[in-house]
Amino acid sequence: MEKLWTGRFQKPLNEIADAFNASIGFDSRMYQQDITGSMVHAAMLAKQGIISQSEQESIVSTLADILAELDSGALEIDSACEDIHMFVEGELTKRIGAVGKKLHTARSRNDQVALDLRLYLREECAVVEELLGEVIAAIVSVAEKNTDTIVPGYTHLQRAQPILFAHHLLAYCAMFERDMARIGDAVDRMNTASPIGSCALAGTTYNTDRVYEAQQLGFGAPCINSIDGVSDRDFCLELMSAFSIVMMHLSRFCEELILWSSWEFAFVELDDSFTTGSSIMPQKKNADMAELIRGKTGRVYGNLFALFTTLKGLPLAYNKDMQEDKEGIFDTLDTLKMCLQVFAPMVASMKLKKENMLAAAKGGFINATDLADYLTKKGMPFRTAYKLTGQIVAYCIEQGCDLESVPLARYRQFSELFESDVFEAISLQACVEKRISQGGTGKASVEAQIAHYKEH
């Protein structure tokens, strides 16, 4: 297909250079957005008297036919075209002749691609938010069933204090809720300014109505500066950053699933449908889906930093380097959506080994803080109680026992403040239930957290 820009050229583009220059291989996924934008642009041109009403109707109806045929597969995108914009315009012109050539009046591929990408990302972000909602729902469903399941809480990967397993899971719901808010904020900013009508960089001599075009496309207003309109890719960076944070949260959760499903922890067993085996070791059950999500996080980070690096030295306005924005953000979206689609059912289907969780919670002196709190409530200064509790733990380690099995008489040798109620105070159930502060691990608090996520 002849290039639409060849008027001043005397030689065709080198075959290798043509392939190197083309973006049709990846920007073709934006055909729906490209056609939608073109329909609205044609309507604006007719509204302003730049083209006739009959010309607009011919353009819009033909574009609708092209869209329907692309959706159904009756029409295939010509890979010989340079980009999706030229394919659509070329197909339109092939069908209605010279009228089709009027569509590109008062716009450039520079503002056209800036528009298409925003429209595409807006739709994809809605999909990502829906998938995040499914992940939160899967976590909440497991949490609801485990408001009495006690596990050791960790700091520094060392057993720290007893918590409810539901409490641990719901921490990730808080992360994913923030992720949804971040994505929503980025979309709101992206929707504030429409780039269409910026043309190549300087605007146009035609009496266009950029406000009408922006409103018809769901934007708050036209971008205030036409140079910024075609050269801005902040929205890509912001979304890729938000997506990278989602992947980081998924990766942290997957790291714990990998640990929990190991023989060393044996807290959970991932369903067979989300694990794989070994080609040589028949006993193996590998958490490959969780490992892949963890691994793909680095890939998403790489896409973000690649675009940062691409943009950092670009002069205004549009530069061909900016074609490099799409493959990275498309790959990020594809990767993130696949990870979210795998993650939700993987969590929902896992089996918990509650007896192992409880056994782990009984080890490691994770009720030591409660022992110190017991003494503090009896009148001992906390720092004194802290030091004394440390001495009791050292005694238990030396004797090979835990805090619950120390005789009351021995406790009283450490301090006369100890009474028989100490054993109730340091029971794991009591340690959990006493955490009554808002957001804590007490059952009432955890149930309130569950209610919050179910409502939102």
Distances (CA, A) of 224 to 189, 196, 206: 14, 11, 17
Structure tokens at 260: 């929990």
Assess contact for 198 and 110: CB atoms under 8 A: yes
Q: What is the phi-psi region of residue 364: left when phi exceeds 0, alpha when psi lies from -120 to 50, beta otherwise? A: left
Residue 278 catalytic? yes
Inter-axis angle of helices 382-399 and 368-377, to 10 degrees? Answer: 140
Bridge partners (DSSP) of residue 221 are: 193
Residue 167 catalytic? no
Q: What is the DSSP string of 156-202?
A: TTEEEEEEEHHHHHHHHHHHHHHHHHHHHHHHHHHTTEE-TT-TTTT
Q: What is the phi-psi region of residue 350: left when phi exceeds 0, alpha when psi lies from -120 to 50, beta otherwise? A: beta
Out of 156, 273, 279, 420, which one is annotated catalytic?
Answer: 156
Out of 52, 79, 262, 278, which one is annotated catalytic?
Answer: 278
Residue 409: exposure state from Cβ atoms within 10 A (0-12, 13-18, ≥19) = exposed
For residue 71, give every residue at least 6 positions away whose Cβ sits within 8 Å of its Cβ, in sequence order, or none: 32
Structure tokens at 151: 């596990």
* Spatial distance between the Cα atoms of 117 and 84, rounded to a whole number of angstroms: 12
Question: How long, in residues, is the chain?
Answer: 456
Residue 155: exposure state from Cβ atoms within 10 A (0-12, 13-18, ≥19) = exposed
Assess contact for 22 and 87: CB atoms under 8 A: no
Catalytic residues: 156, 278
